[in-house]
Amino acid sequence: MTLKPSLKLEAIKLRKSGQTYSEILSKVPVAKSTLAEWFKEVSLSVPQKQRITQKRLDAALRGALSKKNNRIFLTKTIIDAAKKEIGKVSNRELWLIGIVLYWAEGSKEKEYHPGSGVKFMNSDPLMIKLFLKWLKEICHVDSQEITLEIYLHDNNKHRIPEVKRFWEDVTEIRDSHAYKLYFKTDKIKTKRKNVGESYYGILCVRVKRSSTLLRKITGWTSGIYCGIV
């Protein structure tokens, strides 16, 4: 097929105005390879090159934003659907969930340290909420029997009031006597990711005089293992 000379002239004119291949192809109905051939001897000014480069960057950013939005939408869809699969959790299910949670994250009684009590540490506020609910509703532990320890890197000392308010909101325990604060020394060179305004340290939940409860939890844990294996 013979192309009209006017198409080539139009394409070159558009290119010299700083338009990208995509923009030109939307106005000049030829193959991209044809444009490449026509533009071999077309020299562009610096502003024209800058415009084309900016157009490409803008297109790439739009593509990245579109992918990000699609990923966010897909993630939310998956999470919402999975959430509905759980439904209402029964007391027995909560009991078992708490046992496994403690099995994974709680301290265990050691032969060299008999009589130790219940101790659970984590930085996830939702996990802390769940564990406290389990202690109170399943194990019938009174709030007065619970003590809390905050472990914070010492470069966050200036955020102590904010950190304390955060954990008070999570635990709904606002008795200042229930909290103890400990500082961890930061190394000069660190690869830690838990830094910044979203960092609130680690909370340790202890139950006073709870060696009997800890041994019971150990028995429950063994029961789950034997019941499955």
Across the beta sheet with 202-207, the strand order is 119-122, 202-207, 146-153, 179-184
Two tokens, residue 116? 């130790």
Under DSSP, the state recorded for 4 is P
Percentage of the chain exceeding pLDDT 70 = 92
Q: What is the pTM of this model?
A: 0.70
- Rounded to 10 degrees, the C-alpha dihedral 107/109/115/120 comes to 10
Give residue 58's pLDDT: 83
Q: What is the pLDDT of residues 132-188, one digit of tens each?
A: 999 999 999 999 999 999 999 989 999 999 999 999 999 999 888 889 999 988 664
* Domain segments of the chain as ranges: 1-87, 91-228
SS3 107: coil
Give residue 190's pLDDT: 56
3-state DSSP helix/strand/coil percent for the chain, to nearest 5? 60, 10, 30
- pLDDT band, residue 189 (cuts 50/70/90): low
Residue type for position 77: T
127 or 177, higher pLDDT: 127
Give residue 188's pLDDT: 47
Asked if residues 101 and 134 have their Cβ atoms less than 8 Å apart, the reply is yes
Closest of 207, 204, 228 to residue 96, by C-alpha: 228
